[in-house]
């Protein structure tokens, strides 16, 4: 039986990781965001912000990691796996920053498909900046628009998750994943 892959996406600071942790606490299989891991690994090698210094290299590392996650989802014992961001997120960010990318990025989006995409809207009341999140709230809002456009361009119909407490947002996602 095919594993259902559900993407939870949205601009920075919209609550994705909190929802993923809540889903995980409820016993659901989840794969976490990898951009912080890529950033921290680069910092250990003396590169403060890999995305700013070498955006294509950063994006290639994200693309590779998300392809690995896509394949990993099929190997997990669950029928549904939730992913904190998907492969099209990489392209959306590159478009936002006007960074060109090779055809392999487009091919990855066309080959590695997801069953459903949920997008969390920008929400100033919960937005927090930190060491790995350097985008302002206004930038988060613009990135969110790029994410919506990118997923739609690959044939997805992202479902916007209402602004509500984490438990309600999580329940909304679970109620709308379909069978």
Q: What is the pLDDT of residues 143-178, one digit of tens each?
A: 899 999 999 999 999 999 999 999 999 999 999 997
Q: How many residues can be counted in the chain?
A: 179
DSSP for 14-75?
SSHHHHHHHHHHTT-EEE---HHHHHHHHHHTT-S-HHHH-HHHHHHHHHHHHHHHHHHHHH
Residue 50: pLDDT above 60? Answer: no
- Cα(45)–Cα(143) distance, integer angstroms: 28
Is 147:92 a contact under the CB 8 Å cutoff?
yes
- Cα(74)–Cα(77) distance, integer angstroms: 8
Residue 48: pLDDT above 70? Answer: no
pLDDT of residue 105: 94
Q: What is the pLDDT of residues 86-119, one digit of tens each?
A: 999 999 989 988 988 899 999 999 999 999 999 9
Q: Confirm whether pTM is higher than 0.85.
A: yes
- Cα(85)–Cα(83) distance, integer angstroms: 6
- How far, in Å, are 86, 134, 171 from residue 29 at the CA level? 15, 29, 15
Query: What are the structural domains of the chain?
Result: 4-175 (3.40.50.300)
């Amino acid at each position: 039986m095919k594993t259902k892959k559900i993407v939870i996406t949205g601009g920075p600071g919209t609550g994705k990781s909190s929802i993923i942790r809540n889903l995980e606490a409820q016993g659901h299989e989840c794969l976490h965001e990898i951009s912080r891991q890529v950033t921290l690994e680069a910092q250990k090698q003396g590169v403060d912000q890999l995305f700013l210094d070498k955006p294509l290299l950063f994006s290639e590392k994200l693309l590779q990691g998300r392809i690995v996650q896509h394949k990993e989802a099929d190997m997990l014992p669950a029928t549904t796996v939730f992913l904190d961001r998907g492969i099209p997120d990489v392209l959306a960010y590159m478009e936002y920053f006007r960074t060109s990318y090779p055809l392999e990025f487009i091919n990855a989006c066309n080959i590695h498909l997801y069953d459903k995409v949920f997008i969390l809207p920008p929400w100033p009341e919960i937005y927090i900046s930190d060491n790995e999140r350097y985008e302002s709230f206004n930038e988060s809002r613009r990135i969110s628009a790029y994410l919506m456009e990118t997923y739609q361009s690959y044939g997805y119909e992202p479902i916007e998750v209402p602004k509500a407490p984490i438990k309600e947002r999580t329940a909304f996602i679970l109620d709308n994943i379909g069978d």
